[in-house]
Amino acid sequence: MNKISYVFPGQGSQYVGMGSLLYDKFDSVRRFYNEVNDLLKFDLRKVCHEGPAEELNKDIIAQIAVYVNNHIHLMLLKENGYAPVMATGYSLGFYSALVAGSAIDFATGLAIVKEAAKLMEDEIGNKKGGMTAIIGLLVDDVKAICNEARKEDDVWISNINAARQIIVSGMESGLRAVERFAQENGALHIIPLNVGLPFHTPLMKRAGERFYEYLRTVDIKDSETPVVSYMNGQIIKGKDEIRRLLSEQLYHPVMWKDTIQMMINNGVDTFIEVGPERALYRMIQWIDRKVKVMATEDILMQPN
């Protein structure tokens, strides 16, 4: 029998039209959107399904949209009898993994997402930051490039997705320097990402500390299903450790390659990406082509 892990995507997986096929097919999705719209006091369904892209891609809207759509996919998988042996999430997707593990409920996770976004936006203010994907260079090469680029502005490696798929995060001038140096060093692709903040860098440390104080007021339980931290690839279950990791993940790199490899080493042979798009689907295939990877909509949109 397959050992299934859920993997939840983060910001960047949003796109105009996300979830519309599921909305058309399932009554439960239509009811859930109505509940979420009442909770948010704005029409998230319209933004997700109709755009415009400029509105959907705003950091806070994108984060809420991905979190909500992740939950819709999770809800439908539960209705269809799927049960994972463990779960993890990529960046923002970690909140969804905690919901899957019953450490928090959906509404609590939504409040946490909104608070984290506010604290990070407050920390950066009017300064311009962002993230850029570097494809085709090794980690040590990108690390050296960041060290050189920091002479112009703050920039660090923030996500290690696969051996030659690295994301850097920082302030605008530093990112432009990284892009120049990466091109000079033979990167295959250099892709500025559609985010406006330097996530997973030391620039967010104070936001993380403030976030921890907020999390002390939040009802978090021990996880029932093992949840894997993308920071260190370790299984976490205790509520105190969850609080600590939630705060630290704002400024800690996403060690995705190591996380997925640890799960494979622990017997996981099937990954289901529980959310919109197929970003994690492709990343996992880069890491290990022997494991089975599925997207939720491949399961849910099959003919009855």
pTM: 0.94
Determine the pLDDT at residue 298: 82
* Catalytic residue from among 200, 229, 247, 252: 200
Check: CB of residue 296 under 8 Å from CB of residue 26. no
pLDDT in tens, 216-255: 999 999 999 999 999 988 898 899 999 999 999 999 999 9
Residues 187-209: b if buried by 16+ CB within 10 A, e if exposed: beebeebbbbbbbbbebbeebbe
Mean pLDDT by 10 residues, the chain (304 residues): 90 93 93 93 94 93 96 94 92 97 96 96 91 97 97 96 96 97 97 93 97 96 94 90 95 96 94 92 92 88 62
Looking at residue 303, what is its pLDDT? 57
The one catalytic residue among 13, 91, 158, 229? 91
91 catalytically annotated: yes
Given this model, what pLDDT does residue 126 score?
A: 86
Rg (CA), the chain: 18
